[in-house]
């Protein structure tokens, strides 16, 4: 660290100041410990900017060649770790300018023409996030594939369908797994939608007002893979919607992971006993030799908290910020980097947990009709027989109460008692008291009938292929 008050060779604003910053300010201000990961993107943007300066007549042919050569060298040095930031650099942009000055002498100082760290950081962060949104999408597709594979295996596995965590109606276990895939597919869809709005370059906005130099924001945007340059230079450097939006997408994906995690936790309890997890994705206890804990699912659930926190934290930072750039905006990076890191950490572990879990189909099938889960089928049978649903509901309610009192199942009620319970009831109700029948008849689009679930598997596979292709783009 440069001693307080000392001039610095690398500081960007020496001219007007009689001394260097106080140590307390420097320590507060430094961001290079977390923004260094933007270095490869900053270098890409610098290369594009060098081309702009050349086309504007501000770098001659030889200067451009030297500049490009030095940027190549610096890119390599960043990659192999031989060029490292120093705390005195303050941020990634300053560190890389030092790297250029070390290689080019005063020529290195020409690259800053027409460019401010304000438009640089906004552009770098967009590049970084567009890249990482694709990595997140790839991992989401992999988790979805693991779920679809399990679902396909268990299209015909009957399971209890729950509402309020109480037995409601029998379902295909595959249908339940695919419900999670629908959520993750929407997450990928949201990333793709986000990407359209994030595909805007801020380069050329300068500090806030644009530049008097003949820059080429559209050319530079295209070169960096953006769809368009900024429409308003003030907005270009002040806007962090793209950070807030992706934090929301990541927080919601985290919530989806948490809900799946919660189900896995429940499913593996002795009380449920629906699935058994592979040893590789469980942990033991230091004191209880019998324990096998679903830590991946719990960490997925737990980490959703920090993802939600990052979103609300950034919104609080943005609220009340006057235009254009304010240093508060530097607070956008740590939350969004952590959100990306967190999701990229959880997803592969969850994918492994799901793809290796063993579903105990007999146990699921045996408990599918528990809790009088076929009562709705009896009521709907009566409706088909012409009974108003209100009366059918009442009759079946009395039937269930009778069964509870006599501790029997719906199909164990003697014929004579059926008519005593309600004149609407008769031996005919037995025709619908089968789990398989309950599944097969729920065959309207999107329902749990195995034929519909198989179609859903096929549709999702097509969708996942398209999403995978986008994520590789």
Q: Sign of torsion, CA 321 324 326 332?
A: positive
Question: How many whole angstroms separate alpha carbon 147 and alpha carbon 351?
Answer: 8
Residue 330 touching ligand ARG (CB under 6 A): yes
Which residues have C-beta within 8 Å of that of residue 373, sequence separation ≥ 6?
160, 161, 167, 168, 169, 170, 438
Q: Which is nearer to ligand ARG, 30 or 368 (CB)?
A: 30
Least distance in angstroms from the C-beta of 211 to ligand ARG: 15
Q: Which stretch binds ligand ARG (CB under 6 A): 115-123, 208-216, 438-446, 461-469?
A: 115-123
Q: Which is nearer to ligand ARG, 130 or 180 (CB)?
A: 130
CB neighbours of residue 320 within 10 Å:
8
Q: Which stretch binds ligand ARG (CB under 6 A): 71-79, 117-125, 248-256, 367-375?
A: 117-125
Binders in 118-137 for ligand ARG, by CB under 6 A: 118, 121
Least distance in angstroms from the C-beta of 327 to ligand ARG: 6
Pairing of the two strands 275-276 and 358-359: antiparallel
CB neighbours of residue 446 within 10 Å:
12
Question: Which residue in 8, 31, 351, 376 binds ligand ARG (CB under 6 A)?
Answer: 31
Question: Which helix (H) or strand (E) element contains residue 79?
Answer: helix 61-80
Least distance in angstroms from the C-beta of 101 to ligand ARG: 18
Least distance in angstroms from the C-beta of 329 to ligand ARG: 5
Asked if 203 and 121 touch (Cβ cutoff 8 Å), the reply is no
Q: Which is nearer to ligand ARG, 109 or 426 (CB)?
A: 109
Q: Which of 306, 299, 198 is nearest to 246 (CA)?
A: 198
Q: Which is nearer to ligand ARG, 120 or 172 (CB)?
A: 120
Buried/exposed 195-216: b ≥16 CB within 10 Å, e otherwise: beebbbbbbbbbebebbeeebb
Q: Which stretch binds ligand ARG (CB under 6 A): 75-83, 113-121, 134-142, 463-471?
A: 113-121
Binders in 269-328 for ligand ARG, by CB under 6 A: 325, 327
Asked if 180 and 154 touch (Cβ cutoff 8 Å), the reply is no
Q: Which is nearer to ligand ARG, 117 or 167 (CB)?
A: 117
Say which DSSP state 283 is in: B
Rounded to whole angstroms, what are the CA distances from 28 to 9, 125, 331?
20, 21, 12
Which residues have C-beta within 8 Å of that of residue 409, sequence separation ≥ 6?
369, 372, 403
Residue 39 touching ligand ARG (CB under 6 A): no
Angle between helices 92-104 and 39-55 in degrees, nearest 10? 60
Pairing of the two strands 200-201 and 158-163: unpaired
Residue 329 touching ligand ARG (CB under 6 A): yes
Question: How many whole angstroms separate alpha carbon 462 and alpha carbon 444?
Answer: 21
Least distance in angstroms from the C-beta of 231 to ligand ARG: 21
Least distance in angstroms from the C-beta of 43 to ligand ARG: 16
Q: Which of 330, 326, 447, 296 is nearest to 380 (CA)?
A: 447
Question: How many whole angstroms separate alpha carbon 184 and alpha carbon 323?
Answer: 36
Question: How many whole angstroms separate alpha carbon 124 and alpha carbon 117?
Answer: 10
Q: Which is nearer to ligand ARG, 117 or 130 (CB)?
A: 117
Q: Which is nearer to ligand ARG, 118 or 258 (CB)?
A: 118
Say which DSSP state 275 is in: E
Least distance in angstroms from the C-beta of 207 to ligand ARG: 7
Pairing of the two strands 200-201 and 228-229: parallel
Least distance in angstroms from the C-beta of 31 to ligand ARG: 5
Least distance in angstroms from the C-beta of 91 to ligand ARG: 4
Q: Which is nearer to ligand ARG, 338 or 394 (CB)?
A: 338
Pull the structure tokens for residue 102.
């070390």
Q: Would you name the residues annotated as active-site residues?
A: 164, 285
Q: Which is nearer to ligand ARG, 90 or 142 (CB)?
A: 90
- How many residues sit close enough to ligand ARG to count as binding (CB under 6 A)? 10
Q: Is 347 helix (H, G, I), strand (E, B) or coil?
A: helix
Residues in the chain, overall count: 473
Write the interaction track for ligand ARG spanning residues 74-103; mark x where CB under 6 A is met and - where it is not.
-----------------x------------
Say which DSSP state 293 is in: B
Binding positions for ligand ARG, rule: CB under 6 A: 31, 35, 91, 117-118, 121, 325, 327, 329-330
């Amino acid at each position: 660290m440069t001693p307080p008050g000392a001039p610095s060779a690398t500081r960007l604003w020496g001219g007007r100041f009689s001394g260097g910053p106080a140590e307390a300010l420097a320590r507060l201000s430094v961001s290079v410990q977390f923004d260094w990961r933007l270095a490869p993107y900053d270098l890409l943007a610098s290369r594009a900017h060098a081309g702009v300066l050349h086309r504007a007549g501000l770098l001659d042919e030889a200067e451009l060649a030297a500049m490009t050569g030095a940027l190549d060298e610096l890119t390599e040095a960043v990659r192999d770790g031989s060029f490292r930031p120093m705390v005195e650099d303050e941020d990634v942009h300053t560190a890389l300018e030092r790297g250029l000055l070390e290689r080019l002498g005063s020529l290195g100082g020409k690259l800053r023409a027409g460019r401010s760290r304000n438009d640089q950081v906004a552009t770098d962060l967009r590049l970084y996030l567009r890249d990482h949104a694709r990595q997140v999408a790839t991992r989401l597709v992999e988790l979805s594939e693991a779920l679809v594979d399990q679902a396909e295996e268990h299209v015909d596995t009957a399971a209890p369908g729950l509402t309020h965590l109480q037995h409601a109606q029998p379902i295909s276990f595959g249908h339940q797994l695919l419900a999670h895939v629908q959520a993750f597919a929407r997450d990928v869809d949201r990333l793709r939608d986000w990407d359209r709005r994030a595909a805007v370059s801020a380069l050329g906005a300068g500090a806030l007002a644009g530049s008097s130099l003949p820059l080429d924001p559209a050319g530079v945007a295209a070169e960096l893979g953006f769809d368009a340059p900024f429409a308003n230079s003030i907005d270009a450097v002040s806007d962090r919607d793209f950070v807030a939006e992706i934090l929301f997408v990541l927080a919601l994906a985290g919530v989806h992971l948490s809900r799946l995690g919660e189900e896995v936790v429940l499913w593996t309890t002795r009380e449920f006993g629906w699935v058994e997890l592979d040893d590789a994705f469980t942990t033991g206890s230091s004191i209880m030799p019998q324990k096998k804990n679903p830590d991946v699912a719990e960490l997925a659930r737990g980490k959703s908290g920090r993802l939600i926190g990052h979103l609300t934290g950034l919104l609080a930072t943005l609220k009340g910020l006057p235009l254009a750039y304010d240093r508060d905006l530097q607070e956008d990076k740590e939350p969004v980097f952590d959100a990306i890191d967190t999701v990229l950490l959880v997803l592969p572990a969850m994918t492994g947990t799901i793809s290796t879990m063993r579903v105990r189909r007999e146990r699921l099938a045996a408990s599918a009709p528990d809790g009088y889960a076929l009562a709705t089928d009896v009521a709907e049978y009566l409706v088909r027989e012409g009974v108003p649903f209100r009366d059918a509901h009442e009759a079946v309610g009395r039937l269930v109460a009778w069964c509870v009192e006599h501790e029997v199942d719906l199909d164990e009620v003697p014929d004579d008692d059926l008519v005593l319970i309600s004149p609407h009831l008769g031996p005919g109700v037995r025709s619908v008291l089968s789990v398989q029948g309950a599944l097969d008849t729920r065959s309207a689009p999107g329902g749990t009938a195995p034929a519909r679930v198989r179609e859903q598997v096929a549709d999702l596979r097509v969708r996942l292929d398209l999403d995978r292709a986008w994520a590789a783009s």
